[in-house]
């Protein structure tokens, strides 16, 4: 109770300060819609695993280990600091008693949550609220940057990043996704501020932002490295193509420029596969199929996306890629739901599918009305989205897990669709 009496007023104060700091932003009317929804989602995540699912899930596993680690910190602060930053901490005898100690990525999350536990007196709900606030504000900044850059897409940005139910819910609370999505938003925000400084007066990244940038990259790599493995190539491919579009390809069609971006993106992924053993094609495919098989083994039959005969070969993966892409973007659909919770997700996915059809049939030329710089940005966002969608569906063919993991790309994909449908011209010509 003492923790709530201290931190609830503090959270309200932080929220009010962030609101005051946002005065003048194009999406200000949506602040008090998006933030309470995020807070409720953070509480809802805990309630979902506490009362709805028959197991408590990762969120409580992280918290339980974090509470013990925070208790250890109060008794041995120096050893705790060593444990946070160094593998040889001198506390291995204690750390080895924690269930998640032998899972490096899960234990990294435990370390992060233990810091919050020290701050919140080891209160699960308060930890979740602080992470929800962090994720909301990161998405809030990105949505406002896009609304400033593309004024006609103001409503699209608000819906996609602040109000889309699956994004609001699955990137909240004490979850890896709340931190990972916040890091993605911060990385993309700084990228946009740097690349479009001329179109965003007064929006140059601050010194603090540059200092925090490698921290966001490190956090994302430690928590969800495959998100970063898709995001950085898309950003780099965009920068290289945009440079060529303003020089050697200046007079070429937007179709050729977009094709160049796709080729550069593929080349970067190919080169990256030789830079790290875990990214080598054979090793990558082995890991992908292994994760697929393990997910199938522990999932209920009615909650699985079936990829019959999937093998760790390029040919087999390519054969299943179209189904994986569709599943990653749009499944489960409403008629595939076997629970009320899946029905809600299915209705949202059905809405996205309808939007996609509208864009393909009626609005695909919208993207050619933008300047090449902005059209290529849309292509890069699309490549990032479809790559993650396909790979996540193949490696985690469980409807519940897929609905959670896809929040890494869903705001960008939904934003592309909504901006094409709702806006006439969403870009400034440069």
Residue 294 has pLDDT above 60, yes or no: yes
In a domain, 62, yes or no: no
> Two tokens at 287?
């890991």
pLDDT level of residue 426 (50, 70, 90 thresholds):
very low
- Angle made by CA atoms 209, 197, 228, in degrees to the nearest 5: 50
DSSP assigned state of 27:
T
In a domain, 269, yes or no: yes
Backbone angles phi, psi at 98, to 5 degrees: -85, 130
In a domain, 365, yes or no: yes
How confident is the model over 119-143, as pLDDT tens digits?
A: 999 999 999 999 999 999 999 999 9
In 359-398, alpha helices (H) = 372-395
In a domain, 114, yes or no: no
Question: Using an 8 Å Cβ cutoff, are 397 and 292 in contact?
Answer: yes
Instruction: Give this prediction's pTM.
Output: 0.94
CA distances from 24 to 135, 184, 287, 402 (A): 21, 24, 47, 37
Lowest average pLDDT, out of 93-97, 194-198, 267-271, 376-380, goes to 194-198
> 180 is in which domain, residue-wise?
2-15+29-55+123-422
Q: What SS3 state is found at 250?
A: coil
Question: Using an 8 Å Cβ cutoff, are 258 and 376 in contact?
Answer: yes
Distance CA 177, CA 430 (A): 35
**What is the mean pLDDT of the segment spanning 56-84?**
91
How confident is the model over 155-186, as pLDDT tens digits?
A: 999 999 999 999 999 999 999 999 999 999 99
Distance CA 152, CA 369 (A): 13
**Could you tell me which residue, 102 or 357, shows the higher pLDDT?**
357
Helices and strands (H and E) in the chain: how many: 18, 0
**What is the mean pLDDT of the segment spanning 356-371?**
84
The predicted pLDDT at position 205 comes to 65
In a domain, 82, yes or no: no
DSSP assigned state of 333:
P
Give how many domains the chain has, as a whole number.
1
Q: Sign of torsion, CA 135 139 142 148?
A: negative
In a domain, 232, yes or no: yes
DSSP assigned state of 73:
H
The predicted pLDDT at position 430 comes to 38
The predicted pLDDT at position 337 comes to 81
Backbone angles phi, psi at 248, to 5 degrees: -65, -30
In a domain, 203, yes or no: yes
How confident is the model over 395-410, as pLDDT tens digits?
A: 999 998 999 999 999 9
The predicted pLDDT at position 202 comes to 63
Distance CA 143, CA 342 (A): 27
The predicted pLDDT at position 148 comes to 92
The predicted pLDDT at position 373 comes to 81
Q: Sign of torsion, CA 379 181 230 354?
A: negative
How confident is the model over 296-354, as pLDDT tens digits?
A: 998 888 889 999 999 989 999 999 999 999 999 999 988 888 878 888 899 999 999 99
Residue 424 has pLDDT above 70, yes or no: no
How confident is the model over 100-116, as pLDDT tens digits?
A: 988 989 999 999 999 99
How confident is the model over 341-352, as pLDDT tens digits?
A: 888 899 999 999
In a domain, 238, yes or no: yes
Distance CA 364, CA 360 (A): 5
């Amino acid at each position: 109770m003492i923790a709530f009496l201290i931190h609830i007023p503090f959270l309200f104060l932080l929220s009010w300060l962030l609101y005051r700091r946002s005065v003048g932003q194009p999406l200000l009317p949506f602040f008090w819609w998006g933030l309470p929804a995020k807070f409720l989602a953070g509480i809802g995540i805990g309630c979902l695993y506490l009362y709805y699912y028959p197991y408590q899930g990762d969120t409580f596993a992280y918290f339980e280990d974090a509470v013990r680690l925070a208790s250890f910190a109060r008794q041995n602060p120096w050893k705790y600091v060593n444990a946070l930053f160094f593998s040889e901490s001198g506390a291995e005898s204690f750390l080895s008693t924690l269930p998640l100690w032998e899972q490096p990525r899960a234990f990294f999350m435990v370390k992060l949550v233990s810091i919050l536990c020290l701050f919140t007196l080891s209160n699960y709900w308060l930890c979740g609220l602080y992470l929800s606030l962090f994720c909301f504000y990161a998405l809030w900044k990105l949505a406002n940057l896009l609304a400033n850059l593309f004024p006609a897409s103001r409503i699209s940005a608000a819906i996609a990043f602040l109000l889309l139910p699956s994004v609001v819910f699955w990137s909240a609370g004490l979850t890896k996704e709340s931190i990972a999505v916040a890091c993605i938003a911060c990385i993309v925000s700084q990228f946009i501020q740097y690349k479009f400084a001329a179109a965003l007066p007064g929006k140059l990244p601050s010194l603090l932002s540059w200092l925090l940038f490698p921290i966001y990259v490190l956090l994302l790599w430690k928590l969800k490295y495959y998100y970063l493995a898709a995001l950085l190539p898309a950003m780099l491919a965009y920068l290289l193509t945009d440079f060529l579009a303003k020089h050697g390809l200046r007079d070429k069609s937007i179709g050729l420029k977009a094709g160049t971006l796709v080729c550069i993106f593929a080349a970067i992924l190919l080169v990256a596969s030789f830079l790290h053993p875990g990214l080598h094609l054979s090793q990558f495919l082995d890991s992908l199929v292994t994760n697929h098989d393990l997910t199938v083994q522990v999932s209920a039959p009615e909650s699985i996306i079936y990829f019959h005969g999937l093998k760790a070969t390029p040919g087999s993966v390519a054969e299943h890629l179209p189904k994986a892409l569709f599943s990653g973007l749009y499944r489960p659909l409403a008629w595939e739901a076997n629970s009320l919770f899946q029905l809600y997700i299915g209705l949202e996915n059905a809405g996205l599918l309808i939007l996609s059809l509208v864009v393909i049939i009626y609005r695909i030329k919208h993207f050619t009305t933008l300047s090449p710089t902005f059209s290529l940005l849309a292509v890069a966002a699309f490549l990032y989205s479809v790559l993650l969608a396909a790979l996540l569906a193949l490696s985690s063919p469980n409807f519940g897990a897929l609905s959670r993991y896809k929040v890494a790309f869903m705001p960008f994909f939904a934003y592309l669709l909504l901006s094409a449908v709702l806006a006439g011209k969403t870009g400034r010509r440069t």
